[in-house]
């Protein structure tokens, strides 16, 4: 699929807005390392702000204080930065970035449309995200340099393509698309070529796919025969799908831990409909429990720390 360099402009994607507010979950890929903090969006008064917390639920810290909608948190591969989507005007979301402690907050994209779900490349120099440009009625996947330069469009068709996540080796990008009539998990080369549909069942996929740190597995959320959505894990070629959650609630936005032993996700179980909380579970689906109960939380990102990081 041919890449196109693009100019900026004003646009709004109803599809992405509905997906973001209805499912309330952002996206990202996981890179190897020691399990660090979890970052996620959470409703505070009339705003949504980015918070981070230790995996044991301690030391909750608010990172943003910006009027509007701040979510879609994604840690960089070295764990030192966070990209996120910020909606500071009606119908306008842009990609922003900051240090992991909330300092040096700055805008990365200046497109003027609804740009969401950033995902750092494995080398930390680029960010993939979903959005649209003037004249486009469908969501597309883009890549931009972390300095805001070199905007490139990877998908160019009449369907919606969203939730781009780089594989840990940087060779491929998993994403979701409705190009065959139903939203499924796809994979393509990191330059947008050779798209391949991985899931072909009769159930639509929801937010969001995520590669395991070793690149052999992909976690995703899907509606299933009992309703759902629930969390599944499959081999990176689309085979061997295994269901990890089974609950009369929404379960979405899976995120692998950097050491590959845990998966974080968002669920509404045992909560009022508006209260969705980040849970963690072992990679086999066992030991499911809340991280920091309370509030309405959006999808998490797990901070990778260097393998020689002192954990004590």
pLDDT digits (tens, 9 = 90+) for 153-198: 999 878 999 999 999 999 999 999 999 999 999 999 999 999 999 9
**DSSP three-state, residue 18:** helix
**219 domain-assigned:** yes
> What is the token pair recorded at 154?
């990877």
Q: What is the pTM of this model?
A: 0.88
In angstroms, the CA 60 to CA 55 distance is 10
Q: Is the pLDDT of residue 22 over 70?
A: no
Q: Is residue 189 part of a domain?
A: yes
312 part of a folded domain = no
Domain that holds residue 117: 4-305
Residue 105 resides in a domain: yes
CB neighbours of 312 closer than 8 A, spacing ≥ 6?
A: none
How confident is the model over 44-69, as pLDDT tens digits?
888 999 999 999 999 999 999 998 89
Phi, psi of 263, deg, nearest 5: -135, 125
- Average pLDDT over the chain reads 87
pLDDT at position 77: 96
Instruction: Note whether residue 310 is domain-resident.
Output: no
Residues 6+ apart with CB under 8 A from 46: none
In a domain, 311, yes or no: no
174 occurs within a structural domain? yes
Q: Which CATH number characterizes residue 209's domain?
A: 2.120.10.30
How does residue 132 score in pLDDT terms, banded at 50, 70 and 90?
A: confident
Phi, psi torsion values for 19, nearest 5 degrees: -65, -40
User: What's the N-to-C CA distance of the chain in angstroms?
Assistant: 48
In a domain, 158, yes or no: yes
pLDDT of residue 16: 35
**Higher pLDDT among residues 61 and 24, named by residue:** 61
109-131 average pLDDT score: 94
Tell which wins on pLDDT, 146 or 131.
146
Kindly report, residue by residue over 257-274, the tens digit of the pLDDT.
Answer: 999 999 999 998 876 655
Residues 231/223, Cβ–Cβ less than 8 Å? no
Whole-angstrom distance, CA of residue 12 vs CA of residue 132 = 7
Total structural domains within the chain: 1
pLDDT in tens, 185-243: 999 999 999 999 999 999 999 999 999 999 999 999 999 888 889 999 999 999 999 99
* In contact, 176 and 161? CB cutoff 8 Å: yes
Chain segment 75-110, per-residue pLDDT in tens = 999 999 999 999 977 778 999 999 999 999 999 999
Q: Which pLDDT value is given to residue 272?
A: 65
């Amino acid at each position: 699929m041919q890449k196109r360099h693009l100019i900026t402009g004003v646009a709004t994607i109803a599809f992405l807005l509905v997906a973001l507010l209805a499912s309330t979950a952002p996206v990202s890929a996981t890179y190897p390392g020691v399990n660090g903090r979890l970052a996620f969006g959470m409703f505070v008064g009339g705003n949504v702000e980015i918070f981070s917390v230790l995996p044991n639920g301690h030391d909750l810290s608010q990172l943003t204080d910006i009027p509007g909608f701040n979510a879609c948190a994604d840690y960089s591969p070295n764990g030192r930065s966070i990209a996120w989507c910020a909606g500071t005007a009606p119908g306008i979301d842009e990609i922003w970035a900051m240090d992991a402690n909330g300092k040096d907050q700055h805008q990365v994209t200046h497109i003027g449309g609804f740009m969401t779900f950033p995902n750092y490349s494995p080398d930390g120099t680029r960010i993939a995200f979903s959005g649209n440009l003037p004249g486009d009625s469908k969501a597309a996947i883009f890549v931009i340099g972390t300095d805001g330069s070199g905007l490139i469009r990877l998908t160019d068709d009449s369907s919606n393509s969203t939730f781009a996540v780089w594989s840990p080796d940087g060779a491929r990008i998993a994403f979701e698309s409705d190009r065959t009539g139903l939203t499924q998990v796809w994979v393509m080369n990191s330059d947008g070529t050779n798209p391949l549909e991985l899931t072909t069942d009769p159930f639509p996929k929801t937010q969001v796919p995520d590669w395991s740190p070793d690149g052999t597995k992909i976690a995703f959320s899907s509606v299933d025969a009992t309703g759902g959505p629930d969390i599944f894990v499959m081999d990176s070629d689309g085979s061997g799908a295994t269901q990890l959650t089974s609950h009369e609630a929404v379960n979405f936005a899976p995120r692998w831990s950097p050491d590959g032993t845990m998966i974080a996700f968002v669920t509404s179980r045992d909560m009022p409909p508006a209260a969705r909380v980040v849970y963690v579970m072992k990679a086999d689906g066992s030991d499911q429990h809340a991280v920091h109960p309370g509030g309405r939380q959006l999808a998490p990102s797990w901070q990778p720390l260097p393998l020689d990081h002192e954990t004590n």
